[in-house]
Amino acid sequence: MAEKKPYCADDLADINTPLLFDYWYVAALGGEITHDLKERTILNRSLVMYRDENGNAVILQNRCAHRSFPLDQSNLEEGGIRCRYHGIKYNHDGEIIDVPCQDKCPRSGIKKYITREIGPLVWVWMGENADADEADIPELPVHNMDKWTHVVGKYNHMEGSYILMHENLCDLSHLPFLHADTFKFPPEYTAAPIKVEQDGNKVTFYRQMEDWNLLRPFFHPGLDFGNQKVIYKSGGEYLTPATNKGYGLLIPLDENGDECAPVGHYVNHYLTPETEESCHYFWFIARNYELDDEDYSKKQGEMVQNGFEEDLVAVKLLQEMFDRDQHDYREIGIKADKPGVVMRKIIKELAG
Ligand code: FES
Ligand SMILES: [Fe+2]
């Protein structure tokens, strides 16, 4: 692999910036964790995931404390995992409870990670266990609201740095180009100015269009506002190194020109670094209209997954370029980069 050279201003995170441990990351979709053992590497830590007898998600260090045998290649028994190499058994807390050839068990077992299952997601705290605080799980208001129909996307493996994907998610300017065939944004979308605001370690950004009819293909065909004026707002928010969200909202105006309650969808994105050069990616959409149209949910889910597969390909291509090309490269900036630049400043500062 090529030598890692700096390619941007010192105050911006790039693909060489150290990973951040003191955060809640999405480890898996709830449905991925079963009564079988499953390995997933997160922040360069090999983890084994499963459900215990009560159905609770358990995440442990995957490396046997004895001679490093992978526990996901071992056996899940009642009460814990028995390593397939020399038979040491760990309980659901990672403590050693049986060593077949001796009476006493060594005191240090393997690390148990703190998890929380909320809606369709299983979160894991990757810092020191003593520092875990459930209140730090980013609150996405659409997680548990009855007024939203959820379309949960499938797990995606991304062969590129999570920084590249966060930048993609903070970037409204690529939508009409990279996603020309899937999302079908009109040319007018490209010209709308992008507003950016920073609130502590969060970044919000959006662009607005006065005529929502240009965006019709992006919404349910049954949506009709008659002659009412409707603004289209497209934007997103970088929340934490693990979380980003996007939205497309239609905002009808009343006769006084005041904004009425928006109709639209949020797309929640969850990025979990696997290594510096790869990450896990989860998403789900929540929409607050045509709640019972399951056919539309299916179509909407497929359209969004197709679009995200274009991002997966693009991020992989970027990562490969970083890995192999030896040009003396220094990235240039354009106006539309601002949300991503602010996000990269925040991550760089967090990484110290
Ligand atoms: S490596 Fe697991 S018991 Fe020896
Ligand atoms: Fe994209």
With a Cβ cut-off of 6 Å, ligand 1 is lined by 64, 66-67, 69, 83, 85-88
Residues 107 and 195 placed together within one structural domain of the fold: no
pLDDT, tens only, 104-121? 999 999 999 999 999 889
Q: Which domain CATH number covers 184?
A: 3.90.380.10
CA of 82 to the centre of ligand 1 (A): 9
Domain count, the chain: 2
pLDDT of residue 145: 63
Q: Which domain CATH number covers 91?
A: 2.102.10.10
- CA atoms within a 13 Å half-sphere pointing along the CA-CB vector of 73: 9
> Pick from 92, 85, 79: which is nearest to 48 by CA?
92
Q: Which positions of the chain have pLDDT values less than 50?
A: none
Residues 187 and 332 placed together within one structural domain of the fold: yes
> Quick one: which ligand is closest to 166's CA?
2
Residues 56 and 175 placed together within one structural domain of the fold: no
Residues 59 and 162 placed together within one structural domain of the fold: no
CA of 168 to the centre of ligand 2 (A): 6
Domain boundary among 126, 158, 177: 126
pLDDT of residue 143: 61
Residues 187 and 326 placed together within one structural domain of the fold: yes
pLDDT of residue 141: 58
> Quick one: which ligand is closest to 100's CA?
1
User: Structural domain of residue 113, as residue ranges?
Assistant: 24-126
Residues 81 and 162 placed together within one structural domain of the fold: no
C-beta of residue 242 within 8 angstroms of C-beta of residue 138:
yes
pLDDT of residue 135: 94
pTM, full prediction: 0.94
pLDDT of residue 32: 98
Other Cβ atoms within 10 Å of 260 Cβ, number? 13
pLDDT of residue 3: 59
Residue 11, in any domain of the structure: no
pLDDT of residue 19: 98
pLDDT of residue 100: 96
pLDDT of residue 148: 87
Q: Nearest C-alpha to atom 1 of ligand 1 is from which residue? A: 67
Q: How far is CA 85 from CA 42, 54, 61, 64, 176, in A?
A: 24, 27, 16, 9, 53
Domain boundary among 91, 126, 161: 126
Residues 296 and 232 placed together within one structural domain of the fold: yes
Q: Nearest C-alpha to atom 3 of ligand 1 is from which residue? A: 86
Residues 150 and 107 placed together within one structural domain of the fold: no
Residues 94 and 241 placed together within one structural domain of the fold: no
pLDDT of residue 78: 97
pLDDT of residue 147: 80
